[in-house]
Amino acid sequence: MTDKEKHGKKELVIPGEIIASGDDFLPGDWTQKQGKDIIAIRYGVLEKQDRIVKIVPISGVYIPRRGNFVIGEIKDLTNAGWVVEIGAPYQAFLPLRECLGFIEESEMEGIYGIGDLIAVKILNVKRTSIDLTMKLREKGFGKIREGAILKINPHRVPRVIGKEGSMISIIKEATGCNITVGQNGLIWIQGPSVENQIYAENAINFIVANTITEGLTEKVEKWLKENKGDKK
């Protein structure tokens, strides 16, 4: 606790570091029990919840999870659907039957062509492939036609969103932009003007640069006030 108070930052751990010993703690995500000690097997922030110690990664490639809302780029068209690049280590596929409306095979390229960005949800994560879907009773799926795209590290997305969307709603309110955050680190910003979009982009980049800082919400509010300028 003293360390946190000194720097206002969370504790970082490296692979192989002993993070707890004895039987008082249980190994959580990205940790391993070796004899009496619990060691970290990944670089990240150390978190202790009751008796469980776990590592929250702050860098690296996106790990797909079922139900994640992601933004992807169309890489290829096959007769059954689209191959989508979502930044995961495995190939993601959007089948025709999981798309909105009825689509003929001949119309496919007109609907989503190669290079188009689409907002989709992960239906299933298999061992070495990912299934995508748009057929859910939710809004916001489909092709991205306007606005700006910002790419950040996917492990820093939870901080950008905040607890129950608190952080992102502060930015939305302050910048007047509509922001859609994909869990894979792609963020879609639609604003009334380019200046507002850049303002939102800079605010998100500020959060990304200060991911491991404690009490980030207050700092972001302060940053938004200081950098407001003549926008809106």
Partner 1 sequence: MTKEEKSLYTKRFDGRKFEELREISAKVGVVPNADGSAIFAQGDTIAIASVFGPKIFHPKNQQNPEKGVLRVHYGMLSFSVTERVKPGISRRSQEINQVTEWALTPVVMLEELPGTVVDVHINILQANAGTRCAGINAAALALAHAGIPMREMVSAVAIGKMDKTIVSDVTKEEEDYEDGEGATDIPMAYLPNSEKVTLLQLDGKIQPEKFKEALLAGKEACKKIAEIQKKALKESE
Question: Where along the sequence are the contacts to partner 1 (CB under 8 A)?
Answer: 9, 12-17, 30, 32, 39, 41-44, 57-61, 89-91, 127-128, 155, 211-212
Structure tokens at 46: 């150390």
Instruction: Spell out the residues 6+ positions from residue 25 whose beta carbon is closer than 8 angstroms to its own.
Output: 38, 48, 51, 52, 53
Closest to 131 in 3D by CA, of 102, 101, 88, 180: 88
CA distance 203 to 216: 12
Instruction: Give the nearer residue to partner 1 in terms of CB position, either 59 or 166.
Output: 59
In angstroms, what is the minimal distance from the CB of 220 to partner 1? 17
Instruction: Give the nearer residue to partner 1 in terms of CB position, either 61 or 198.
Output: 61
In angstroms, what is the minimal distance from the CB of 142 to partner 1? 25
Instruction: Give the nearer residue to partner 1 in terms of CB position, either 90 or 140.
Output: 90
Structure tokens at 232: 């809106």
Rounded to the nearest 10 degrees, the angle between the axes of helix 166-175 and helix 194-209 is: 150
CA distance 53 to 44: 12
Instruction: Give the nearer residue to partner 1 in terms of CB position, either 80 or 90.
Output: 90
In angstroms, what is the minimal distance from the CB of 91 to partner 1? 6
In angstroms, what is the minimal distance from the CB of 128 to partner 1? 4
